C-alpha cells in the first residue's frame, strides 16, 4: 500500500453490509487462539461474522505503543491513515478515547502526513487536538458518506450516523481550519451512482466548506460479497442480475463502468468547484 495504516479497534459497530474488513476480526481471534502473546482475546458467543459488529476488540495499548515505536523517518513520506479497516470514531471511542490518545501522541512529532477516515460526527469532539495537529502536520479528515438519503443508508448501513450529522461535522472541521472533505464511498451501481445522488452529496459538501469531494465504486471482494449480496437480494432484487453480470467473480465493476463513473465525478467536481484529482494527498512513490 502507498500509506501506513493504524486502526485502534478491530470490528465496527456501524455494521455496513459492504464492509471489506470483516475478516480482520476472525484473523485476530485466530492469532490469539494460536498463542500470539501480543493478543488477549476471548472468542465471543457469536460467530466471527456477526461478532465483527457486536464484539469490538479494543487495542488498549495502541497509544503507548505508538509513543514508543513511531520513527517518522521509516514512514518515508507516506501518509499515516487512521481508520482504514474499522471506524476510529465508532461508539466505542466515546468510552475508550483511543483515537484521541493516538492523535495526542502524534503531537510529539512534526511534518507527517496524517489522514483520518470516519463516518462519525464524533470526530468533531477532537477539534482541539486536530487544530493543534494541523499546525504541526499535514492533516486531512475524510468524512465518508454514500448518500444523503437516510432511509436508503439504513438499508445498507445498519447503525451508521445520519447523513446530515456527518455533514454538520464536516462543516465544524472546515470552519475550524482543519483540512476536511467528503469521501463518497462506496458508490453502489444502480443504487447511489445517479447524477442526482452524487450531486446532492457534492452540494452538501460544498455548502459545508469541504476542500474536496472524491469517490470510488464498490469493490466486491470476498468479505463484501458475503455481507452485501444478501442485502442486495433482499432490498434490491431487481439489481441482482445486473451485479452478477457486472462483477461476476471480479473485484471491480468493469473498466467501462469505472471510466463512466470517473467522468461523472469529474464533471460534478468541476461544477461544484472541487479539485478533479479528488483533492487527496498523493501517496509517496
What is the reported pLDDT for 2?
84
What is the reported pLDDT for 210?
98
Beta-bridge partner residues of 70: none
What is the reported pLDDT for 33?
59
- The CATH class for the domain spanning 3-272 reads alpha beta
Q: Are 121 and 160 in contact (CB under 8 A)?
A: no
What is the reported pLDDT for 279?
53
- Say how far apart CA 164 and CA 148 lie, in whole Å: 7
Question: Percentage of residues in the chain with pLDDT exceeding 90?
Answer: 79
Q: Are 87 and 119 in contact (CB under 8 A)?
A: yes
Domain boundaries, the chain: 3-272
- Angle subtended at Cα 200 by Cα 195 and Cα 205, rounded to the nearest 5 degrees: 125
What is the reported pLDDT for 49?
60
Q: Please choose, from the candidates 229, 34, 16, 199, the residue with its C-alpha nearest in 3D space to the C-alpha of residue 117.
A: 16
Residue segments in the chain with a per-residue pLDDT below the cut of 50: 280-285
What is the reported pLDDT for 40?
60
What is the reported pLDDT for 205?
98
Amino acid at each position: 500500500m502507498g500509506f501506513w495504516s493504524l486502526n485502534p479497534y478491530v470490528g465496527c459497530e456501524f455494521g455496513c453490509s459492504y464492509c471489506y474488513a470483516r475478516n480482520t476480526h476472525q484473523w485476530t481471534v485466530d492469532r490469539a487462539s494460536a498463542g500470539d502473546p501480543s493478543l488477549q482475546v476471548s472468542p465471543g458467543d457469536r460467530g466471527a461474522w456477526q461478532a465483527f459488529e457486536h464484539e469490538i476488540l479494543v487495542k488498549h495499548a495502541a497509544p503507548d505503543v505508538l509513543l514508543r515505536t513511531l520513527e517518522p523517518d521509516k514512514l518515508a513520506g507516506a501518509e499515516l491513515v487512521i481508520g482504514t479497516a474499522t471506524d476510529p470514531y465508532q461508539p466505542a471511542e466515546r468510552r475508550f478515547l483511543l483515537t484521541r490518545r493516538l492523535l495526542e501522541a502524534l503531537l510529539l512529532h512534526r511534518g507527517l502526513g496524517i489522514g483520518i477516515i470516519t463516518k462519525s460526527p464524533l470526530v468533531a469532539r477532537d477539534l482541539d487536538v486536530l487544530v493543534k495537529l494541523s499546525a504541526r502536520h499535514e492533516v486531512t479528515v475524510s468524512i465518508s458518506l454514500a448518500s444523503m438519503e437516510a432511509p436508503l443508508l439504513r438499508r445498507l448501513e445498519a447503525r451508521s450516523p445520519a447523513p446530515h450529522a456527518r455533514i454538520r461535522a464536516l462543516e465544524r472541521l472546515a470552519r475550524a481550519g482543519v483540512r476536511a472533505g467528503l469521501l463518497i464511498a462506496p458508490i453502489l451501481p444502480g443504487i447511489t451512482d445517479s447524477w442526482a445522488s452524487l450531486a446532492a452529496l457534492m452540494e452538501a459538501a460544498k455548502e459545508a466548506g469541504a476542500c474536496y469531494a472524491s469517490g470510488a465504486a464498490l469493490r466486491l471482494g470476498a468479505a463484501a460479497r458475503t455481507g452485501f449480496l444478501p442485502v442486495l437480494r433482499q432490498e434490491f432484487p431487481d439489481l441482482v442480475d445486473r451485479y452478477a453480470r457486472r462483477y461476476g467473480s471480479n473485484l471491480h465493476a468493469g473498466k467501462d463502468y469505472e471510466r463512466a463513473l470517473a467522468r461523472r465525478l469529474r464533471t460534478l467536481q468541476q461544477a461544484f468547484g472541487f479539485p478533479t484529482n479528488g483533492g487527496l494527498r498523493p501517496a509517496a512513490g
